[in-house]
Amino acid sequence: MPAFQNQATLSYNGISVTSNTVTGEIVDVLSVTKTAVPKTYTTGDEVTYVVNLINSGASPLTNLTLTDNLGTYTFGAGTAVPLTYMPESVAYFVNGVLQAAPATASDRTLTVSGINVPAGGTATVVYRADVNGFAPLAAGGTIVNTVSASGDGINTPVTATETVTAGGAPRLSISKSVAPTTVTENGTLTYTFVIENTGNTAADASANISVSDVFNPALNPVAVTFNGTTWTEGTNYTYTPANGTFATVPGQITVPAATFVQNPTTGEWTVTPGTSELVVSGTV
C-alpha cells in the first residue's frame, strides 16, 4: 500500500510560492495468502500449496498471473530450486466453485495464468510440489516459498510467502540377512539386522525401538551383539528357544541421525543414513 505526497508551486511576477504538501495512500484491492500442507518435509515428500486471492474492490480483476518461485534460493554464484511442481496438479476455484484448469508453465518457477477474481470475491489456486534433492534436510532447514500475483488493475505485484521446515524426527528402515545360506545340522546361523535412520534426528532410547523375529529353525543357544557389544538376555533381549521367538527390550536399540552434505558444485544434497547393527547367531 504505497503512500504518496506532492506539493504545488504558484509563480507570478517572478515570484514563486509553494502550497502545503498533501499526502495520500494507494490501497491495494487485491490481497494474497498462501498456506502449505503439511508444514514439515523430507526428501520425496509432497507439499500442497493453497493460494487465496481476495478482491476487496468494486470491479473484477481479470487475466491475472501467479508466479511461484518454488523455494528458489541463492547457492554460490547461482540458485537452487528445492521444489518440483507436479504436472497437472493445479485446481482453480472462484468463490468456491471449481473452474476449468488454467494455463500453467513450469521450469525453475511455476506460472499460472488466466486467473479471474470477481469484485468482492475470492479465487483459490491449489497445486502440489515434490520436495527434491536440493531441499535442505538437516535440523532447522527450511523451504521459503513465495508467490506473486500480477496483471491488469494491480499497481505492483502482490506477494505472499510460506515456510515449511525440515521434519525433526527419525525415519527408520530395517534389513535382514543370513549367513551362511546353506548350513549343516548342528551348524551355526548368523542373522544380521541393519537399522538405518535417514532422518535428521537420532532415534534414542525414548523412541522405544524393538526388533522381533521368530527364527525357524530355532537357534539354541544364541549369542547377541549390538554395534559390536555383547548383549545380555533379560536385560537387552528375550528369547524362547522352544519356538525361536526373539525380541529386543524396547529402548535398547538406538540409531544415530543421518548426515547431510551439499554438493559444492551442483547444490544437491546427499544423505548418509545413520546405522546400527544387531547380530544374532546360534546353533540350529
Could you give the 3-state DSSP secondary structure of residue 188?
strand
pLDDT of residue 13: 86
Nearest alpha carbon to residue 165 among 139, 191, 187, 188: 139
User: Using CB atoms within 10 A of its CB, is residue 284 exposed (0-12), middle (13-18) or buried (19+)?
Assistant: middle
φ/ψ of 205, rounded to 5, equals -60, -30
The pLDDT of residue 235 is: 97
List the chain residues with pLDDT less than 50: 1
- Domain 30-166 of CATH type 2.60.40.740: yes
Residue 233's pLDDT is what? 97
Joined grid coordinates for residue 216 = 525357524
**Reported pTM:** 0.80
Q: What is the pLDDT of residue 28?
A: 65
Extents of the domains making up the chain: 30-166, 172-283
Q: What integer pLDDT is reported at residue 5 of this predicted model?
A: 86
Q: pLDDT tens-digit profile of 2-42?
A: 577 889 998 988 899 998 888 865 556 899 999 999 999 98
| pLDDT the model gives residue 278 | 98
Q: What is the pLDDT of residue 93?
A: 98
Q: Which pLDDT value is given to residue 25?
A: 59
